[in-house]
Amino acid sequence: MPSVTAQDIIVNSMIEVGALAQGETPASNDAAYVFGKANRLSSQWSTRSLFIWTVRSDRYTLIPSQRSYTIGRAPGADFVADRPLGPREPGNGIKNANIVLTSVSPEVRVPLRLLDDDEWASIWVLDVPTTLPVALYNDGAYPNSTLYLWGWPTQANDLELFTNQQLPQFPDLVTPIELATGYEEAFILTLAESIGPAFGQPITADLRENARRARAAIQSLNSSSPKIGTDVPEMPNSGPRSTFNYRSGTFQT
């Protein structure tokens, strides 16, 4: 992944929209404005699935008898990481979760069921001690969300979470950050479109089209083909890839 600084992004986006000429540097107040716009754009893209380039896994050590854990980057979080971000559905941003049994070799991963708000609210007894939790609920709170295990573990195993890799925020003008392949161009051109009105610059047809193409390139990489199913019992929905022999009317794997 290429490294880029906020200063690089700011200068290039201002050149693209015509607010700077080659070799010029922005005034400090202009740089501060575009810096804020860049981080807001990064935050916005993190909410859109077609701008998320990967799902990553992280592991956290559980504490016996602890019922819940906070996750986020605000002070006091048990797990210091990006707060899971996703639609209001089971997991609320967590794609998959496992309990990892660390006391055995090789380690064993035990899947957790992800609960939505209604399922968590419908549980009659929450305080259930057990060796292995069976479900996980994420309340989606901000700035730190809270993860609830049901039942709560009596052993110190690991919790493995699969979450969307969010776009990084620029901490300052000079600290390099990593952007996935294709993102730098798309980000610069989209930012240029966004800041044009503030600098009195028209958004040309070429800039608009180049930005659209750059976004489409990364969106096409991040989109997945839908799984096609059927309610016809003779036709399989999943399993090994098979072919249909129209002469015999059967599937062959």
The C-alpha atoms of residue 43 and residue 131 are separated, in whole angstroms, by: 38
**Same structural domain, 160 and 114:** yes
Neighbours of 47 (CB within 10 A): 14
Is 241 within a domain? no
Q: What is the token pair recorded at 128?
A: 């259930």
Length reported for the chain: 253
3 state DSSP class of 243: strand
Is 230 within a domain? no
**Same structural domain, 146 and 190:** no
Per-residue pLDDT at 222: 87
Which of 114, 145, 164 delimits the end of a domain? 164
**Same structural domain, 80 and 126:** yes
**Same structural domain, 59 and 153:** yes
Per-residue pLDDT at 249: 56
pLDDT in tens, 79-90: 999 999 988 889
The C-alpha atoms of residue 79 and residue 67 are separated, in whole angstroms, by: 14
The C-alpha atoms of residue 36 and residue 239 are separated, in whole angstroms, by: 48
**Same structural domain, 158 and 214:** no
**Same structural domain, 200 and 146:** no
Per-residue pLDDT at 78: 97
> Is residue 112 within 8 Å of 133, Cβ to Cβ?
yes
Lowest-pLDDT range of 114-128, 196-210, 214-228: 214-228
Is 77 within a domain? yes
**Same structural domain, 119 and 139:** yes
Backbone phi, psi, residue 153, to 5°: -80, 145
Q: Which residue range(s) make up the domain with 135?
A: 55-164
**Same structural domain, 108 and 138:** yes
Q: What is the token pair recorded at 163?
A: 């979450």
Task: Record the pTM.
Answer: 0.79
**Same structural domain, 43 and 125:** no
Residues 6+ apart with CB under 8 A from 129: 65, 151, 152, 154
Is 240 within a domain? no
Is 35 within a domain? yes
**Same structural domain, 208 and 187:** yes
Is 242 within a domain? no
Is 111 within a domain? yes
Q: What is the token pair recorded at 104?
A: 């055995």
Question: Which residue is listed with tokens 């997945």?
Answer: 224
pLDDT in tens, 117-169: 999 999 999 988 888 899 999 999 999 999 999 988 888 899 999 999 999 99
Per-residue pLDDT at 234: 57
Residue 236 has pLDDT above 70, yes or no: no
Give residue 235's pLDDT band: very low, low, confident or very high (50, 70, 90).
low
Per-residue pLDDT at 134: 94
Give the total number of structural domains in the chain: 2
The mean pLDDT of the chain is: 90
Which of 115, 146, 164 delimits the end of a domain? 164
**Same structural domain, 98 and 196:** no
pLDDT in tens, 155-174: 889 999 999 999 999 999 99
Q: Is 183 exposed, middle or buried (0-12, 13-18, 19+ CB in 10 A)?
A: buried
**Same structural domain, 174 and 160:** no
